[in-house]
Amino acid sequence: MSHLAMNPLQIEYFLSVAQTKSVAQSSRELFVSAPAISKQLTALERDLGVTLLTRSHTGMALTPAGEEYYEFFAKTFAQLSALKRHYHVQADATLNLSLGILKDWAIYERLHELEQRLKEIFPQLTLTILPMPEDALIEALSNSKLDMVLSMPNRLASDLGTNQYVSETKLCTVQKVVVYAQYLFGSKPGTPKITDFADKTMYSVSNQSRRSAALADTLICKHYGFQPKLAPEEDLNAALAKVGMGHGFTILDKWSAFCYFPELHSIPVDYHNDVSLFTHQQLKAPFRNTIAQLAQAIFKQT
């Protein structure tokens, strides 16, 4: 009897493609690249010595042999899942999950909702939120010290490159706002217009991880017809202190921690950033899929 080298991942991919009739659709649902799925399917067919799937005008179709193996694998996997639930497999009983976010984001209400909805599905889950600077998020996710990161893809993806161990799911967009203190304009009544800031100083964070964001903020001002006088600060707290004292303004994401300062106000500008959830593929695909779907439902309301 020949040795079979097939593994559960190959079977999971086969079952998914058989159901979706599309490698591309399974790739989106499992958060795995299409070439990786095709490679595993080819290996499974080689190990079994049969063709399981063929292409047709309606997509991927099961061969007669594929139908038999599909019925066998589906039944076997269902029985295995039932046994795991029955015996409360320890590995699945406790789930410790770490999520890194940009340290300046004030999104804890949404994160609380995500945690509560995850616990409805996984009662033993423990979710740890770790606010970090952007460069620390990149390093932690790359080194598997974080399971997930919530960030802006234009900041994170370029540093991660084509990391095959990280999946990305777009969640929503977040609007940029001009942040200021009302007494920046003295006794002038009403809400200022963006162009009213043309002669004011713009405070921006000048560290390495915020360099691209500071450039984008300058371009926003140019879009409204003026070039701001820039005043760099080492971190966001220093910039907010200057803004809070009425020395100038800054441009931040709507989620930024400025909302904790009652003396600060904001005006929306016509600019949004994408927000994505990056997950390490050491998490099981169904688990990653569930987290991504819940996060999309919660954050798309932003």
Split the chain (302 residues) into runs of 10 and give each run's mean pLDDT: 65 90 87 87 91 88 93 82 53 74 88 89 87 83 85 63 67 92 84 92 75 77 92 87 93 87 91 88 79 86 54
CATH class of the 92-170+275-299 domain in this structure: alpha beta
Give the β-pairing of 148-151 and 95-102. parallel
Give the β-pairing of 201-205 and 148-151. unpaired
pTM for the model stands at: 0.62
Question: In the Cβ-directed half-sphere of 197, how many Cα atoms lie within 13 Å?
Answer: 34
In sequence order, what are the beta bridge partners of 151? 276
Lookup result for tokens 């954050």: 299
Q: Where exactly are the structural domains of the chain?
A: 8-87, 92-170+275-299, 174-274
CATH class of the 8-87 domain in this structure: mainly alpha
Architecture of the domain defined by 174-274: 3-Layer(aba) Sandwich (3.40)
Residue 162 burial by Cβ neighbours in a 10 Å radius (0-12, 13-18, 19+): exposed
Lookup result for tokens 């020395």: 247
Q: Do domains 8-87 and 174-274 have the same CATH topology?
A: no
